[in-house]
Amino acid sequence: MLLTNIQNKKRINLSNYLIVIFFILFIFSNLVALKANTLNESQYPFVEVDYNSAQNNYQGFYNSPTIPNRNTMAALNEDGSITTWGNVDYGEIIAPNDTGYIKIYSNGFAFTALKNDGSISTWGNVDFGGIGAPTDSGYTKIYSTYTAFAALKEDGSISTWGHNSYGGIGAPTDSGYTKIYSNRAAFAAIKTDGSISVWGNSSYGGIGAPTDSGYTNIYSTRAAFAAIKADGSISVWGHNSYGGTNAPTDSGYTKVYSNHSAFSAMRADGSISTWGNSINGGTGAPTDSGYTDIYSTVGAFAALKADGSISVWGDSAYGGTDAPSDLGYTKVYSNHSAFAAIKADGSISAWGNNIFGGTDTPSDLGYTKVYSTVGAFAAIKADGSISAWGDGAYGGMEEPTDLGYNKIYSTENFFLAYKNDGTIVTWDGTIGTE
């Protein structure tokens, strides 16, 4: 009997040891996994232009220096290696596996990354810029159309790759260029003297640029360019239906805004002139002055005054009507076909396409910023909580329910949020969070 009791105790003790060992291994594995997914913001500089920033930060989607990737997000780790999330067909699993990258750029279907020495690696769809980057070094910045890239060197020379019809070939062979601009299928490069060279699809502005100099900035719709001089005069070229003709002939304009097929130009007194597709905002701008900024969806504009009032024009299906009539709005955001405006108290109003977020905004206060995909919005509070609305297929539902997020990024189709500790969550409404 005594021997049996001792043997049973040994079995119990051994089982306890195994349970403890298993528990330690479980905790350790989870700590390792947590560490792998808790990189801080400085360790995760994301792709230079995501969908939200292209839509909301550059006075029009096609004014952004690069086109956001449709279905994949990329970011740099602390050692300059690259992590990706999203769709394998858009560059999710074939990023370079070495280190030392300092910046990531994208087009609609591929990525390219730059190192300190100015060398370039590229990946993604092989027909649209995922291969073919220059093999030399010394490049300082990269730009893109929808399916091609253009890289600028310190001496102002330019190399291109990607789809031939979208600017992947035909760049100027001289040097001295200081900046490159793009629309969906063409590039425009400017020199120190303000002269302009263009290439890419001829119907999109790849030919026809002004031959004089003195231009200071270039703006674009989907298929046309508008260049402004120091005196505020404007020259345009590209597709007629997208604003390539009929720009105002006077001067004094300080800034140009765009949507996909129309331009709006603002003077110092806040008055506005428009041209381009008449249905999508090429006509119908307010006739008064005092506006401070202009925002756009695909087919409409919204102009904000210092008192926080909003005027809209363009296609009603894209937010060209039914803006809020009260005052106090401080910023307007947009996606493909809806607007969302925020007040100082963090309340939000929306209008435009109902499915894409033109209605059903959160009813509470305290939001500090709004982000967007093509068809949804996500708003964040100071405590890091997130509310989303719009089309569920584009992230309008299934947002994370915990707190502590400090910024949101997006592709065309999904949102990505991270916390101060670097924890990352993505959602698009169909797969939920991961």
DSSP characters for 265-314? EEETTS-EEEEE-IIIIIS---SS--EEEEEE-SSEEEEEETTS-EEEEE
Percent of the chain with pLDDT over 90: 82
* 226-265 per-position pLDDT tens digit: 999 999 999 999 999 999 999 999 999 999 999 999 999 9
> Are the CB atoms for 167 and 184 separated by under 8 Å?
no
Q: Which residues contact 388 (CB under 8 A, 6 or more apart)?
A: 376, 377, 378, 379, 395, 396, 397, 398, 399, 415, 427
Task: Give the pLDDT mean for 392-415.
Answer: 94
Task: Look at residue 25 in the predicted model and tell me its pLDDT.
Answer: 36
Mean pLDDT of the 210-232 span: 98
Short-list 85, 12, 49, CA closest to 418? 85
- SS3 letters for 338-392? EEEEEECCCCEEEEECHHHHHCCCCCCCCEEEEEECCCEEEEEECCCCEEEEECH
What is the arithmetic mean of pLDDT over 343-362? 97
At 44 the pLDDT is 58
Question: What pLDDT does residue 21 have?
Answer: 37
Reduced to 3 states (helix: H, G, I; strand: E, B; else coil), residue 197 is strand
For 168, 221, 223, 260, the CA distances from 200, given in Å and listed in that order, are 7, 15, 11, 18
- Give the alpha-carbon dihedral of 361, 364, 367, 370, to 10 degrees: 0
- Cα separations (Å) of 163 from 125, 131, 260, 412, 428? 10, 10, 21, 20, 29
Asked whether residue 132 carries a pLDDT value surpassing 90, the answer given is: yes
Q: Residue 19 has what pLDDT?
A: 39
The band of 23, judged by pLDDT with boundaries at 50, 70 and 90, is very low
Q: What is the mean pLDDT of residues 94-116?
A: 94
pTM for this predicted structure: 0.88
What strands, in cross-sheet order, belong to the sheet with 405-410? 405-410, 415-419, 424-427
pLDDT band at residue 319, thresholds of 50, 70 and 90? very high
**How close are the terminal C-alpha atoms of the chain, in Å?**
55
Per-residue tokens: 213: 């100099």
Average pLDDT, the chain: 89
Backbone angles phi, psi at 161, to 5 degrees: -160, 165
Q: Which long-range contacts (CB under 8 A, 24 or more apart) does 191-197 make?
A: 191/156, 194/229, 196/227, 197/172
Joined together, the tokens standing for residue 424 give 């990352």
Sign of CA dihedral 372, 373, 375, 380: negative
CA 150 – CA 379 distance, rounded (Å):
34
pLDDT given for residue 13 in this prediction: 47
- Segment 112-123 shows an average pLDDT of 97
Within its chain, how far is the Cα of 19 from the centroid?
A: 49
d(CA 169, CA 28): 52
Q: Look up residue 74 and give its DSSP letter.
A: E
Nearest residue to 220 (alpha-carbon basis) of 243, 246, 200, 253: 243
What's the confidence (pLDDT) of residue 428?
83
pLDDT (0 to 100) of residue 116 = 95
Report which of residues 272 and 71 the model is more confident about: 272
Asked whether the predicted pLDDT for residue 74 surpasses 60, the reply is yes
pLDDT band (50, 70, 90) for residue 332: very high
What pLDDT was estimated at residue 429? Answer: 53
Q: What are the boundaries of each domain within the chain? A: 1-36, 324-434
Average pLDDT over residues 358-384: 97
> Looking at residue 48, what is its pLDDT?
84
Confidence of residue 52 (pLDDT cuts 50, 70, 90): very high
pLDDT band at 135 (very low <50, low <70, confident <90, very high): very high
321 close to 352: Cβ distance less than 8 angstroms:
no
Mean pLDDT for the stretch of residues 273-283:
98
**Domain 324-434 class, CATH top level:** mainly beta
What's the residue count for the chain? 434
What is residue 384's predicted lDDT score, i.e. its pLDDT? Answer: 96
The pLDDT value recorded for residue 39 is 40
